[in-house]
Amino acid sequence: MFESAELGHTIDKRTYDKDVPPLRVALLDAQMELSKLAKFPVIILVGGVDGAGRGETVNLLNEWMDPRFLQTHGMGDPSDEELDRPMMWRFWRELPPKGRAGIFLGSWYTWPIINRVQGRIKTADLDQSLERAKRLEKMLTDEGALILKFWMHLSKDKQEKRLKLLEKDPKTRWRVTKRDWEHFNMYDKFFAVSESVIRHTSTAEAPWTIVEGYDANYRSLTVGKVILDAIRKRLDDADTKKTEVSAPPPLPSIDQLNILKTLDLSQKIDKKDYQAELEKYQGKLALLTRSAKFKNITVIAMFEGNDAAGKGGAIRRITGALDARYYNIIPVAAPTEEERAQPYLWRFWRHIPRRGRVTIFDRSWYGRVLVERVENFCTEADWMRAYSEINDFEAQLVRHNIVVVKFWLSISKDEQLKRFKEREAIGFKHFKITAEDWRNREKWDEYEQAVSDMVDRTSTTTAPWTLVEANDKNFARIKILKTLCEQVETMLKKKGIVIKKMRPPVKA
Amino acid sequence: MFESAELGHTIDKRTYDKDVPPLRVALLDAQMELSKLAKFPVIILVGGVDGAGRGETVNLLNEWMDPRFLQTHGMGDPSDEELDRPMMWRFWRELPPKGRAGIFLGSWYTWPIINRVQGRIKTADLDQSLERAKRLEKMLTDEGALILKFWMHLSKDKQEKRLKLLEKDPKTRWRVTKRDWEHFNMYDKFFAVSESVIRHTSTAEAPWTIVEGYDANYRSLTVGKVILDAIRKRLDDADTKKTEVSAPPPLPSIDQLNILKTLDLSQKIDKKDYQAELEKYQGKLALLTRSAKFKNITVIAMFEGNDAAGKGGAIRRITGALDARYYNIIPVAAPTEEERAQPYLWRFWRHIPRRGRVTIFDRSWYGRVLVERVENFCTEADWMRAYSEINDFEAQLVRHNIVVVKFWLSISKDEQLKRFKEREAIGFKHFKITAEDWRNREKWDEYEQAVSDMVDRTSTTTAPWTLVEANDKNFARIKILKTLCEQVETMLKKKGIVIKKMRPPVKA
Q: How crowded is residue B244: how many other Cβ atoms within 10 Å of its Cβ?
A: 7
Q: What does the alpha-carbon distance between residue B353 and residue B330 come to, in Å, rounded to a whole number?
A: 11
A62, A174, A312 ranked by CB distance to B290: nearest: A174
Q: Please, which residues 171-200 of chain A have a Cβ atom closer than 8 Å to chain B?
A: 171, 174
| Higher-confidence position of A402 and A184 | A402
Residue of B nearest to A59 (CA): B320
Identity of the amino acid at A10: T
A62, A324, A331 ranked by CB distance to B55: nearest: A324
- Rounded to the nearest 10 degrees, the angle between the axes of helix B311-319 and helix B473-493 is 50
Chain A residue numbers with beta carbons less than 8 Å from the beta carbon of B75 are 325
Read off the pTM: 0.84
Q: Do B320 and A63 count as a contact with CB atoms less than 8 A apart?
A: yes
Alpha-carbon distance A7 to nearest alpha carbon in chain B (angstroms): 28
Cβ of residue B498 closer than 8 Å to a chain A Cβ: no
Q: What pLDDT score does B75 carry?
A: 86
- Give the H/E segment covering residue B429: none
Cβ of residue B326 closer than 8 Å to a chain A Cβ: yes
Chain A residue numbers with beta carbons less than 8 Å from the beta carbon of B55 are 323-325
Cβ of residue A327 closer than 8 Å to a chain B Cβ: yes
Per-residue CA distances from A141 to A167, A197, A344, B151 (Å): 40, 19, 12, 52
DSSP for A110-166?
Answer: HHHHHHHHTTSS-HHHHHHHHHHHHHHHHHHHHTT-EEEEEEEE--HHHHHHHHHHH
Chain B residue numbers with beta carbons less than 8 Å from the beta carbon of A38 are none
Q: What pLDDT score does A428 carry?
A: 58
Residue of B nearest to A430 (CA): B25
Residue of A nearest to B107 (CA): A325
Q: Do B59 and A319 count as a contact with CB atoms less than 8 A apart?
A: yes
**A402 — pLDDT class (breaks 50, 70, 90):** very high
Alpha-carbon distance A121 to nearest alpha carbon in chain B (angstroms): 26
Mutate to test the interface with B, among A325, A346, A359 (most CBs of B within 10 A): A325
A28, A62, A287 ranked by CB distance to B174: nearest: A287
Q: Could you tell me what percentage of chain A is helix, strand and coil, using 3-state DSSP and rounding each to the nearest 5?
A: 55, 10, 35
pLDDT, tens digit, 9 for 90 and up, residues B226-244: 999 999 999 988 665 555 5
pLDDT-wise least confident of A247-256, A323-332, B60-69: A247-256
Cβ of residue B440 closer than 8 Å to a chain A Cβ: no
pLDDT, tens digit, 9 for 90 and up, residues B365-397: 999 999 999 999 999 999 999 999 999 999 999
Q: What does the alpha-carbon distance between residue A398 and residue A297 come to, in Å, rounded to a whole number?
A: 10
pLDDT, tens digit, 9 for 90 and up, residues A244-258: 555 566 666 667 778
pLDDT at B507 over 70: no
Mutate to test the interface with B, among A428, A434, A501 (most CBs of B within 10 A): A428
Q: Do B32 and A76 count as a contact with CB atoms less than 8 A apart?
A: no
Q: Do A283 and B170 count as a contact with CB atoms less than 8 A apart?
A: yes
Cβ of residue B495 closer than 8 Å to a chain A Cβ: no
Q: Do A29 and B315 count as a contact with CB atoms less than 8 A apart?
A: no
A67, A326, A333 ranked by CB distance to B362: nearest: A67
Q: What does the alpha-carbon distance between residue A171 and residue A173 come to, in Å, rounded to a whole number?
A: 6
Across the range B471-483, mean pLDDT stands at: 98
A66, A105, A171 ranked by CB distance to B325: nearest: A105
pLDDT-wise least confident of A107-121, B196-210, B312-326: B312-326
Cα angle value B318/B322/B327 (rounded, 5°): 95
Alpha-carbon distance B330 to nearest alpha carbon in chain A (angstroms): 7
Q: Which of A161-170, B280-289, B331-340 holds the top average pLDDT?
A: B280-289
pLDDT-wise least confident of A180-194, B29-43, B68-82, B282-296: B68-82
Q: Do A325 and B106 count as a contact with CB atoms less than 8 A apart?
A: yes
| Structural domains of chain A, ranges and CATH numbers in brackets | 3-236 (3.40.50.300), 261-412+446-493 (3.40.50.300)
Q: What pLDDT score does A59 carry?
A: 85
Mutate to test the interface with A, among B325, B346, B350, B433 (most CBs of A within 10 A): B325
What is the SS3 assignment for A422-438?
HHHHCHHHHHHCCHHHH
Alpha-carbon distance A183 to nearest alpha carbon in chain B (angstroms): 19
The mean predicted confidence, pLDDT, of chain A is 90
Residue A117 burial by Cβ neighbours in a 10 Å radius (0-12, 13-18, 19+): buried
pLDDT at A150 over 70: yes
Cβ of residue B36 closer than 8 Å to a chain A Cβ: no
Closest CA to A146 of A103, A105, A86: A103
Cα angle value B118/B119/B120 (rounded, 5°): 95
Q: Do B431 and A59 count as a contact with CB atoms less than 8 A apart?
A: no
Q: Do B171 and A283 count as a contact with CB atoms less than 8 A apart?
A: yes
| Higher-confidence position of B326 and B417 | B417
What lies within 8 Å, CB to CB, of A119 at 6+ separation is none
Cβ of residue A247 closer than 8 Å to a chain B Cβ: no
Q: Are the C-beta atoms of A43 and A145 separated by less than 8 Å? A: yes
ipTM: 0.77
Residue B124 burial by Cβ neighbours in a 10 Å radius (0-12, 13-18, 19+): exposed
Cβ of residue A59 closer than 8 Å to a chain B Cβ: yes
Across the range A7-17, mean pLDDT stands at: 93
Q: What pLDDT score does B505 carry?
A: 45
Q: Please, which residues 330-359 of chain B have a Cβ atom closer than 8 Å to chain A?
A: 331, 333, 336-338, 354
pLDDT at A18 over 60: yes
**A242 — pLDDT class (breaks 50, 70, 90):** low
Q: What does the alpha-carbon distance between residue B428 and residue A228 come to, in Å, rounded to a whole number?
A: 14
pLDDT at A237 over 90: no
- Give the H/E segment covering residue A80: helix A80-83
Across the range A33-47, mean pLDDT stands at: 94
**Chain centroid to CA A209: how far?**
24
pLDDT, tens digit, 9 for 90 and up, residues B126-168: 999 999 999 999 999 999 999 999 999 999 999 999 889 888 9
Q: What does the alpha-carbon distance between residue A460 and residue A387 come to, in Å, rounded to a whole number?
A: 11
B29, B74, B338 ranked by CB distance to A325: nearest: B74
Cβ of residue B207 closer than 8 Å to a chain A Cβ: no
Q: Are the C-beta atoms of A12 and A71 separated by less than 8 Å? A: no
B58, B68, B362 ranked by CB distance to A324: nearest: B58
Cβ of residue A105 closer than 8 Å to a chain B Cβ: yes
What count of CB pairs under 8 Å joins A to B? 143
Q: Do A25 and B427 count as a contact with CB atoms less than 8 A apart?
A: yes
pLDDT, tens digit, 9 for 90 and up, residues B43-52: 999 999 888 8
- Please count the residues of chain A: 508
Q: What proportion of chain B, given as a percentage, has pLDDT over 90? A: 68
